[in-house]
Amino acid sequence: MNLSDVLETTKKEPHCGMCKIDFLGTGVCPAGKKHGFVAYWPEGRMELARALAENEVEPTETLIDIVNSCNLCGICDRQCYFITQRRPTQAQQALKDYVKTLKPNTFKPIPEDEIVKDLRSIVGNDWATNDPIIIASYLRSIIKQKSSGNFYIVMPRSTEEIVAIVQLANKHKIPYLPRGNGTFFGVALQTLLAELCSIEQGIIIDLWRMKDIHVDPGSFTATIGPGITSFELQKAAHAHKLRANVAEAESCVCANAQNLGIVTTWSNTYGWGTDNFIDAEFIDSTGTIMHLSDKDIPNPYASAQGLLSLSLIPSVIVTQLTLKLHQILDDEEAIFIPFTNLSDALDMAHNLAKRNIGISLAVLSRKYLTEFISPTHEIAEDFNYIAEKYLKLNYIVDVICDKYHKKIIEELAEVTFGHSMIKSLILGSSKLASMKESSLLKMIAEEEDPLKAVFGGPMRKHFEKGLAASPHELVKVFDEDLRDFFEKLYSKPELTDPVWLHSFRILPCRMERKHMWMYRGGYMPGDKETILKVVDALEKPAEKYHIEGAFGFLSYLERGKLAHLEYDYYYDHADPDARKRLNKAIVESWRRQFAIKGVTPLEFICSKGLHRKEHILYPFPEGLSEEDLVHFEELIETLFGGEDAW
Amino acid sequence: MVKYLSEEWAAQAKKKVLDELDQTKDLKNMNASLLNVVQNVPPDQKTMYFYIRFVDGKLEELLASPDESIKQKNAEFTITGDYTTFVQISSGQMSSAMALLKNRVKMTGNKIKAFTITKPIDTFNMCIKKIETEY
Ligand SMILES: Cc1cc2nc3c(=O)[nH]c(=O)nc-3n(C[C@H](O)[C@H](O)[C@H](O)COP(=O)(O)OP(=O)(O)OC[C@H]3O[C@@H](n4cnc5c(N)ncnc54)[C@H](O)[C@@H]3O)c2cc1C
Ligand code: SF4
């Protein structure tokens, strides 16, 4: 197999980082676990296969070691297939075949310069490198494609080592940038934000080795190192019947805390930002260790609003975080309220938020529901079509609550469904997709209120029965050699348990299986009028530039006073024209969002996650005036050049 | 070829800006004063000060000096960063707004006003980058 045979796949590598966590109980790539550098993980091998095929890097001797370290055990195929339907072993096989064509002893030696020597003296020989092959595996997930800078990768194990690395970077006057699991970079580096958030030369501090974790059930807290992912923290917390407020499974919690403050569907109850952080240890740009609880640190909560407050580079490196954990109740259950209109869904969700009903509470779109629970993108598309055309199911108010709140919701809502229906939809999604033209669905569509008919009326039984939901049926859509594995996997109760899925969030990366996406949205007052204006402000640019745009999810904060909206733009990041259109849509969406009073676009929250929300979201910003918008255009041009440069 | 931040460089920079940039079109009639604090200037890692003041888009003052007393001019904005970053800005490799947003320089002063002058300051930097400079 040639590298060019797998180029279509490797070009679309999204760097979702899921193959670095053991979310299916398979274990993780043994080579990655041993060597740490991204090059030894499936995502890095994908990137290397692409970079070699596109002549962006020359092989070095280390490539042989990377390739030989993989024994094609297939763990990555199961993990990656579950998320993206990709099979990294194909790229790995292509790399194996490629290295066979290389003549031995023809590799250029890699000069060991002063900086790499010093880095090795800090972290040990195995954990610092300037090898171009290892550096290339970080392309598109912290380094911009076609960067010509001098880079070093270092993997520290302790706070003291990071201090020494920062001081070394300062001594040599070179930049440094921490990397958690690289997933934010994976999304942002494909866009015009790349320049603002990437590193153009210098030291990449890969934090994967810093995996200390301690749960203290007595004080309902956990203290973690910056290499701990959301999945790993949630697993440790659940062992004590506690829950952490964490976002998608693969993100490093410290990165997410610093970056976006961690907003989730649980935020109306558990809060956001420092609501959950008890203390943080961090290192400033001089290499000084500080704590959020120190009396004499510069006010960590103060933050300017406005356009120049945009900062996609962290000003500190979080080396330890102590977070609150929350109790899990015995009677937690999922309850879903289906809607055709966003306006109605917002009314219901806001009503629940104001009353503090629901531990987790969000408005979820049809797009998320169908993409997350379907085993393949094709099935998700059919499911999406069926939901829209026949079921008139466009939004869901998605709640996890106790049995008392469940009763109240059932009183307030005309139609609801729960665990059993979601299980049927997950395991029956392939059958549902095959029913696209069925008479049952046509009959449902003719009902006066199809949602009521399917989820609340007499048809519910027929509908659920028609789905013939079972792991055995579901896995028929998978590659044959993977079916046994997936049948066993889908037989595990957690894979169809909505409460578990909301806590562990192993499904959101499925957004990346067909196309790349870019977050839009942000924070705003929780009133419906503002939210609908923002949705419109995000929809219009997508339409104008022919980018697929879709509502993602909306969660309330502070009993409905505030709302966080994620709306997504989907595009093919391997297509330069699509990237250009995306960038134009991003700029236009900023322009439109800034004109609305009270709105802070998501990018403007970046690097402020350790702040109190009171200091960054209040007072609600005024919408920009016409004159401000002119300056905004000028700032964009200064930062990114004219439209042609995007 | 003139040495970066030398008196000759400052004189050439001032002349170039006055000769080549239009007060209204390029410099947007801005009223602002900025003090750049350039740290770790080679060879002896000293600090240099580089001060500019515009009145109605006209460059009234452009001074480069190691003398701390320049601070007494009480510039509206103080921008502090490493020599290597200022070289990148003055040679047009990185805009000052990008340097600010990438935490490569620190700024004190009114951020709202700073936002309104990013474009003319960028135009100023693009103009002085054309001086044949030894960094
Ligand atoms: C599919 C998907 C869904 C998402 N959903 C949500 C969501 O619901 N809620 C939410 O809050 N976020 C969400 N995010 C955003 C994401 O969780 C954050 O951006 C998070 O930072 C990613 O973690 P990471 O380890 O991959 O970070 P990286 O991509 O490695 O780094 C992100 C940023 O943090 C910096 N950084 C990394 N480690 C540290 C550290 N220890 N100290 C200081 N800075 C550091 C990096 O330099 C970079 O600027 C989502 C992202 C994806 C891909
Ligand atoms: S797509 Fe995700 S799971 Fe697959 S190789 Fe890349 S990072 Fe790993």
CATH number assigned to the domain comprising residue B38: 3.30.1050.10
Closest listed residue to residue A557, CA positions, set A305, A321, A258, A245: A245
Q: Which residues contact A128 (CB under 8 A, 6 or more apart)?
A: A116, A119, A120, A122, A152, A153, A154, A155
Question: Would you place residue A566 in the very low, low, confident or very high pLDDT band (cuts 50, 70, 90)?
Answer: very high
Q: Which CATH number describes the domain made up of A3-206?
A: 3.30.43.10
* H, E, C per residue of A124-136: CHHHEECCHHHHH
A166 pLDDT exceeds 90? Answer: yes
How many angstroms separate the CA atoms of A287 and A275, rounded? 27
Question: Which atom of ligand 2 has the smallest separation from the CA of A46?
Answer: 5
Contact A289, A330 (CB under 8 A): no
- In A432-582, DSSP assigns E strands to 516-525, 548-557, 562-571
Mean pLDDT, residues A87-107 taken together: 94
| Mutation to test the B interface, candidates A316, A634, A636, A639, most B Cβ within 10 Å | A634
**Lowest mean pLDDT segment, chosen from A71-85, A102-116, A549-563:** A102-116
Strand partners, A262: none
Altogether, the residues listed in chain B come to a count of: 135
Across the interface, whether the CB atoms of B95 and A639 are under 8 A apart is answered yes
How far, CA to CA in Å, does A598 sit from each of A153, A470, A522?
A: 41, 47, 10
Q: Locate B1 and state its tokens.
A: 């070829």
Question: Would you place residue A308 in the very low, low, confident or very high pLDDT band (cuts 50, 70, 90)?
Answer: confident
Strands A176-179 and A202-206: parallel
A548 pLDDT exceeds 80? Answer: yes
A645 pLDDT exceeds 90? Answer: no
Look up tokens 């729960």; give the residue. Answer: A418
Mean pLDDT, residues A249-272 taken together: 96
Mean pLDDT, residues A98-107 taken together: 90
| Helix intervals (H) in A274-427 | 342-354, 366-373, 377-386, 403-412, 419-427
A chain contacts of residue B82, beta-carbon cutoff 8 Å: 173
Read off the DSSP letter of residue A171: H
DSSP calls for A437-463: T-HHHHHHHHSSSHHHHHHTSTHHHHH
Indicate the helix (H) or strand (E) that contains A334. strand A333-339
> How many Å lie between the centroid of ligand 2 and the Cα of residue A468?
31
Q: What's the pLDDT at A300? A: 59
Strand partners, A151: A202
Look up tokens 């049809």; give the residue. Answer: A366
Following CA atoms A462, A467, A468, A471 in sequence, which dihedral angle do they give, to the nearest 10 degrees?
-150
A560 pLDDT exceeds 80? Answer: yes
Strands A562-571 and B46-55: unpaired
How many angstroms separate the CA atoms of A358 and A398, rounded? 9
How far, CA to CA in Å, does A279 sit from each of A157, A162, A291?
A: 20, 19, 7
DSSP calls for A191-213: STTHHHHS-SSEEEEE-TT---E
Question: Which atom of ligand 1 has the smallest separation from the CA of A252?
Answer: 25
Nearest ligand to residue A13 Cα: 2
Contact A123, A169 (CB under 8 A): no
Read off the DSSP letter of residue A242: E
How many angstroms separate the CA atoms of B87 and A350, rounded? 53
A341 pLDDT exceeds 90? Answer: yes
Q: What's the pLDDT at A299? A: 61
Pick the residue from chain B with its C-alpha nearest to A199.
B102
Whole-model pTM: value is: 0.96
Q: What's the pLDDT at A280? A: 96
How many angstroms separate the CA atoms of A170 and A168, rounded? 5
Across the interface, whether the CB atoms of B111 and A309 are under 8 A apart is answered yes
Read off the DSSP letter of residue A625: P
> How many Å lie between the centroid of ligand 2 and the Cα of residue A52?
18
Altogether, the residues listed in chain A come to a count of: 646
Q: What's the pLDDT at A234? A: 98
Q: Locate B60 and state its tokens.
A: 């009234």
**Domain ranges within chain A, ordered by starting residue:** 3-206, 213-327, 333-510, 515-645
Question: Which atom of ligand 2 has the smallest separation from the CA of A42?
Answer: 5
Amino acid at site B122: D
Q: What's the pLDDT at A229? A: 98
> pLDDT above 90 covers what percent of chain A?
85
How far, CA to CA in Å, does A306 sit from each of A15, A337, A505, A540, B87?
A: 31, 37, 32, 23, 28
A304 pLDDT exceeds 70? Answer: no
Across the interface, whether the CB atoms of B111 and A635 are under 8 A apart is answered no
How many angstroms separate the CA atoms of A495 and A336, rounded? 17
Question: Would you place residue A535 in the very low, low, confident or very high pLDDT band (cuts 50, 70, 90)?
Answer: very high
Indicate the helix (H) or strand (E) that contains B78. strand B77-82
Mean pLDDT, residues A544-553 taken together: 97
A chain contacts of residue B100, beta-carbon cutoff 8 Å: 308
CATH architecture of residue range(s) A213-327: 2-Layer Sandwich (3.30)
Mean pLDDT, residues B64-86 taken together: 95
Question: Would you place residue A301 in the very low, low, confident or very high pLDDT band (cuts 50, 70, 90)?
Answer: low
Strands A326-327 and A242-243: antiparallel
Contact A414, A452 (CB under 8 A): yes
Q: What's the pLDDT at A621? A: 86
Nearest ligand to residue A42 Cα: 2
Q: Which string of b and e fits A195-218 if b means at least 16 CB within 10 Å?
A: bbbbbbebbbbbbbbbeebebeee
Q: What's the pLDDT at A297? A: 76
Contact A361, A265 (CB under 8 A): yes
Across the interface, whether the CB atoms of A311 and B98 are under 8 A apart is answered no
A307 pLDDT exceeds 80? Answer: no
Q: What's the pLDDT at A475? A: 96
User: Mean pLDDT for chain A?
Assistant: 95
Nearest ligand to residue A91 Cα: 2
Domain count, chain B: 1
Q: What's the pLDDT at A303? A: 64
Mean pLDDT, residues B70-78 taken together: 95
How many angstroms separate the CA atoms of A356 and A42, rounded? 43
Question: Would you place residue A612 in the very low, low, confident or very high pLDDT band (cuts 50, 70, 90)?
Answer: confident
Q: What's the pLDDT at A508? A: 96
The angle at the Cα of A563, spanning A309 to A391, to the nearest 5 degrees, equals: 130
Closest listed residue to residue A374, CA positions, set A257, A467, A446: A467
Closest listed residue to residue A264, CA positions, set A507, A505, A509, A23: A505
Question: Using one digit for the tens of pLDDT, what is the confidence trace for A443-453?
Answer: 999 999 999 99
Contact A129, A37 (CB under 8 A): yes
How many angstroms separate the CA atoms of B135 and B132, rounded? 10
Q: Which residue range(s) make up the domain with B119? A: 2-134
Q: What's the pLDDT at A328? A: 98
B97 shares contact with chain A (CB less than 8 Å): yes
> How many Å lie between the centroid of ligand 2 and the Cα of residue A10?
10
How far, CA to CA in Å, does A315 sit from each of A167, A225, A228, A246?
A: 15, 18, 20, 22
Pick the residue from chain B with its C-alpha nearest to A637.
B119
Look up tokens 């920079």; give the residue. Answer: B13
A chain contacts of residue B115, beta-carbon cutoff 8 Å: 306-308, 628, 631, 635
Q: Measured from the CB, is residue A47 less than 6 Å from ligand 2? A: no
Task: Calculate how close chain A gets to B122, using CA atoms only, in Å.
Answer: 7
Q: What's the pLDDT at A302? A: 60
Amino acid at site A415: V
Q: Which CATH number describes the domain made up of A515-645?
A: 3.30.70
B chain contacts of residue A631, beta-carbon cutoff 8 Å: 115-116, 118-119
Mean pLDDT, residues A239-244 taken together: 98
Across the interface, whether the CB atoms of A639 and B104 are under 8 A apart is answered no
As a 3-state breakdown, chain A gives helix, strand, coil percent values, each rounded to 5, of 50, 15, 35
B chain contacts of residue A285, beta-carbon cutoff 8 Å: 103
Mean pLDDT, residues A421-434 taken together: 95
